Amino acid sequence: MAYLFTSESVSEGHPDKVADQISDALIDNFLAFDQDSKVACETLVTTGQVVLAGEVKSNTYLDVQKIARDTINKIGYTKSEYMFDGNSCGVFSAIHEQSADINRGVDRASKEEQGAGDQGMMFGYATRETENFMPLALDLSHKILIELAELRRENKDITYLRPDSKSQVTIEYSDDNTPQRIEAIVVSTQHDDFDAVDDVMLSKIRKDIVEILIPRVVAKLPETIQALFNDDIKYHINPTGKFVIGGPHGDTGLTGRKIIVDTYGGKGAHGGGAFSGKDPSKVDRSAAYATRHIAKNLVAAGVADEVLVQVSYAIGVVEPMGIFVDTYGTCPFNMTDGEIAQKISKIFDMRPSAIEDRLKLRNPMYSETAAYGHMGRKNETVSKTFSRPNGGDITLDVELFTWEKLDYVDKVKAEFGL
């Protein structure tokens, strides 16, 4: 029997994502000037206020207030009527030095013997459902909000948009797990106050979302995905009727509260650890990227149509506790998931330092991950400039989303005899 599956996304202006982006901007700035920085930084945002807290071990000094303000302004919180803007909000820093008890289990005389920064389990997932090997409902949810942000910045076709927004997509699947059609789309977008009654305002927003935003999204999709859009989609646009008060003024935001949006939208599994605000010695982040890299290369190589990979660690211990694989019965040849896991251990070195080296995780690549998902993104190299209070700007070429590369497909095929 057919079934429905739903995923959601939130925009860069959502308060939790504002917090994530500030935390990751701090990570990038520390790594830009000291690649060996150890950072765990949490951010809280609320009406007119930012609170930074966490632990840092680094040889560089940064103006964390300026970094926070620049990030907020870049997102689009630049007006006083938002009750939260980068130029006027208060920024309080309670960042202090990293615990020596944690550090002694991570830093070693030999980098290769670096221990895991914490215990826990991390998951990576990939599916043939989309060109970027991501679950379709989540991928569409992200794309809707990315396009909505483009419309907001253009300020031409839709002129009343504010930064905070959410989306949700429900898809009908057949018994063989193939997407059949889109059942429902939810979009809630913050907006300027209208000089009109609420019903007129809501009608205008609904018309613009359905007739301007959605066609722009659909036009950029492959034909196979475009075919899932139909005239019977149930649209729920700003279902509460009004969304003027939003962002950190509407809801307090905290780092790490959108971990399912950050990963696979509820498909596969999640180990529970957040990513943003953590340097790559924290396996919550680095091993989650590494398992995504494994899962994507396995699917691309033809090992299975859908793969979930789990790895687990103990704090201060170099080698992982174990690797688990679930191919959901989609492996086309006679090999058990346990046998696949053993072969993965031969191909991919999962020691923390090896993951950092393989995926180039000591580079300042994290600001771009902090909105619209950490997975399924475009691997590209960009130029980034960083500043510090005592001068000495630095410009670096940084490769983004290295875990999305299909650079191990040939090695996987060779190991599996494909």
Task: Find out whether 397 is annotated in a ligand binding site.
Answer: no
CB contact set of 263 (below 8 Å; sequence gap of 6+): 123, 125, 270, 288, 373, 374, 375
Query: Which of 39, 40, 49 lies closest to 72 in space, CA to CA?
Result: 49
Task: Find out whether 324 is annotated in a ligand binding site.
Answer: no
| Residue 321 tokens, joined | 């506790």
> What is the C-alpha to C-alpha distance for residues 275 and 368, in angstroms, rounded to an integer?
12
Task: Find out whether 14 is annotated in a ligand binding site.
Answer: yes
Angle, vertex CA 276, rays to CA 270 and CA 280, nearest 5: 90
Range 269-308 burial, b when 16+ CB lie within 10 A, else e: bbbebbbbbbbbbbbbbbbbbbbbbbbbbbbbbbbbbbbb
CB contact set of 129 (below 8 Å; sequence gap of 6+): 135, 136, 179
Task: Find out whether 38 is annotated in a ligand binding site.
Answer: no
Q: By the 8 A CB rule, do 267 and 127 touch?
A: yes
Task: Find out whether 16 is annotated in a ligand binding site.
Answer: yes
Expressed in percent and rounded to 5, the helix, strand and coil fractions of the chain are 35, 25, 40
Task: Find out whether 378 is annotated in a ligand binding site.
Answer: no
Q: Given this model, what pLDDT does residue 100 score?
A: 58
Q: What does the pLDDT look like over 120-134, one tens digit per residue? A: 999 999 999 999 999
Task: Find out whether 81 is annotated in a ligand binding site.
Answer: no
Q: Which amino acid is at 290?
A: A
Q: Given this model, what pLDDT does residue 389 score?
A: 86
Got the DSSP string for 206-268? Answer: HHHIIIIIHHHHHHTS-HHHHTT--TTPEEEESTTS---S-HHHHS-EETTS-HHHHTTTTSS
Helix axes 283-301, 337-347, angle to 10 degrees: 110
Task: Find out whether 129 is annotated in a ligand binding site.
Answer: no
Task: Find out whether 2 is annotated in a ligand binding site.
Answer: no
Per-residue pLDDT of the chain (418 residues; tens, 9 = 90+): 799 999 999 999 999 999 999 999 999 999 999 999 999 999 999 999 999 999 999 999 899 999 999 999 999 999 999 999 999 999 999 998 866 555 555 655 566 678 787 889 999 999 999 999 999 999 999 999 999 999 999 999 999 999 999 999 999 999 999 999 999 999 999 999 987 777 888 999 999 999 999 999 999 999 999 999 999 999 999 998 889 999 999 999 999 999 999 999 999 999 999 999 999 999 999 999 999 999 999 999 999 999 999 999 999 899 999 999 999 999 999 999 999 999 999 999 999 999 999 999 999 999 999 999 999 999 999 999 999 888 789 999 999 999 999 999 999 999 999 8
Where do the H-state alpha helices sit in 42-90? 64-75
Task: Find out whether 97 is annotated in a ligand binding site.
Answer: no
Q: Given this model, what pLDDT does residue 1 score?
A: 78
Task: Find out whether 274 is annotated in a ligand binding site.
Answer: yes
Query: Which of 44, 86, 84 lies closest to 65 in space, CA to CA?
Result: 86
Task: Find out whether 123 is annotated in a ligand binding site.
Answer: no
Domains and CATH numbers, the chain: 3-8+135-245 (3.30.300.10), 120-127+280-416 (3.30.300.10)
Task: Find out whether 257 is annotated in a ligand binding site.
Answer: yes
**Residue bearing tokens 């997975």:** 375
Cα separations in angstroms, 140 against 5, 166, 168, 261, 387: 13, 12, 8, 12, 36
Length of the chain in residues, anyone? 418
> What is the C-alpha to C-alpha distance for residues 306 and 185, in angstroms, rounded to an integer?
25
Task: Find out whether 164 is annotated in a ligand binding site.
Answer: yes
Give, rounded to a whole angstrom, the gap between the first and last alpha carbons of the chain.
Answer: 34
Q: What does the pLDDT look like over 269-307, one tens digit per residue? A: 999 999 999 999 999 999 999 999 999 999 999 999 999
The residues with which 323 forms a beta bridge, in sequence order, are: 311
Task: Find out whether 339 is annotated in a ligand binding site.
Answer: no
Q: Given this model, what pLDDT does residue 294 score?
A: 98
Task: Find out whether 278 is annotated in a ligand binding site.
Answer: yes
CA dihedral over 315, 316, 322, 326, signed as positive or negative: positive
